[in-house]
Chains A and B, each alone.
Chain A
Amino acid sequence: MAETTVQDVVVKEPTLPFGKKEKKLLTDPLTDNNPITIQVLGICSALAVTTQVFPSLVISVAVVFVCAFSSLFTSLLRNNIPKQVRMIVQLVIIATLVTVVELVLKAFSFEVYKQLSVFIGLIITNCIVMGRLEAFALANKPWRSFLDGIGNGLGYGLILIAVAFFRELFGKGTLFTGSPAELNIIGKSNEATSFMINTAAESGIGSWFSWYSNNNLMVLPAAAMFLIGIFIWIQRSRNPKLVDIS
């Protein structure tokens, strides 16, 4: 009796449902289950690429793409992938998508391709992508896996851009270098570049900042480590759910 009633209750889901659970898949990785600050995955690339905002942004978009579609394809194939070779198969899927990103950038955005050079290829080794395939896509339906991929890509990108913002601003005094929206915020103006706050100026706002110089630590990967550490600290102290009770 009980079994039949349960079956009666089952409502036919629309093909691409977007309810609370699906929304959680997208928003959780941005906050309570962030791949960098909570799962502590993908740290290596987060330290390497975050010296400037613009490359970080492009990498984030690429990771969202790769993460989403590799989750989708892995999930579609999940019942057919032989367990013995599932890691290799996942790697083939990821590598294919990364190569697609590389070829598309090379054909349509050559300057960005030149600027990012090795980092595009390094997405293949980003632990977040394979981590989500193993933990989620292999056990869930395609649509959910796709959303989970997007969510985790965005969560990664959010931290990347936040770290890059502080590193570029305090390390170089610029923002968005390399993009059309290039901003030179603070520094000594010379004939090649002029800054909004010119610390070499004799008068005006710039003269108040004559003591200012760029923090060279910020351009080194160690600075990203400190920044990510601070983000983790702030996040954990503000969210009691995340505190270890042990």
Chain B
Amino acid sequence: MHSTSQVLTFVLILTTVVAVGLTGLREATKPLADANEALFNKKGVLNAIQTHFAGDLPKDWDDAKVEETYKQVKSYIFDYQGNIMDTTQTKYRVAIDLEKDRDKINKLDITERPFPVWVYEDGGKKFYVVTVYGKGLWDKIWGTVAFQEDMETLAGVSFDHKGETPGLGAEIKDSPGFYSQFKNKKINSETGEYVGITVRKGGAKNTRYEVDGISGATITADGVTEMMQEDIENYQPIFAALKKMK
């Protein structure tokens, strides 16, 4: 039997060694991890407009090609009314980290929230990429949504998630059969009213703005519906402003 002081000494030494070791490893790998993350976010933006690129998906491109293509992307930050935000005053970076910063941003009141828009221009074609953010079954889900020049028709989407089940909820990211459905869907109904995009369990009824769900992933799919409806609605004043900018 060990005495209390022996126990305390042992635990103290062990935790100190572990803490120092792990902090060291984290600091050593941080530059690599950050570079991976930045590249990953750029791929996220380009991946939303994947239908524009022939061949491989942007997420499978090598690093140099991503950096090269990303040069044609301009990013803006708007406020909720569609005025360009003074990015020197906002505490958030222009290239918004889709996973970490959106978490903070979504806690802000809508009047203070920055709305990023990425504009990709290539050969006369313009795409507007925005971000959406919501809840899946286990954790956060988010995505980038690309619009064609009319800002009504989707050019494509790219979803990601923090902890959805591989093979079930994670299919929003992994299954081309799911995310490729969003191409050419419209966010307005036939009468021009805003309806957003709905993921319908059991199959889409209105092919203009509904897509098929994923079996075994109803809650994740509902999360996708919610974020596609609410977050894109928040972008409507900004789209109006963007149309005037042209």
Contacts and interface: CB of A to CB of B under 8 A. Distances in A.
Contacts of B236: none
B165 interface: yes
Given A192-B177, A220-B216, A107 B2 contact: no
A110 B164 CA distance: 17
B10 A81 contact: yes
Interface string A35-66: 00000000000001101100100000000000
A92 B18 contact: yes
A55 B183 CA distance: 29
A29 interface: no
A219 B174 CA distance: 14
A104 B215 CA distance: 34
A85 B11 contact: yes
Given A110-B40, A216-B216, A219-B168, A84 B2 contact: yes
A237 interface: no
A106 B36 contact: yes
A118 interface: yes
A49 B22 contact: no
Given A92-B18, A114-B160, A115-B166, A107 B32 contact: yes
B163 interface: yes
B180 interface: yes
A88 B138 CA distance: 27
A190 B183 CA distance: 15
The 8 closest A-B pairs by CB, nearest first: A51-B167, A192-B176, A107-B29, A82-B2, A118-B163, A110-B36, A107-B32, A82-B7
Interface of B: 1-2, 6-7, 10-11, 14-15, 18, 21-22, 25-26, 29, 32-33, 36-37, 40, 138-139, 160-168, 170, 174, 176-177, 180, 215-216
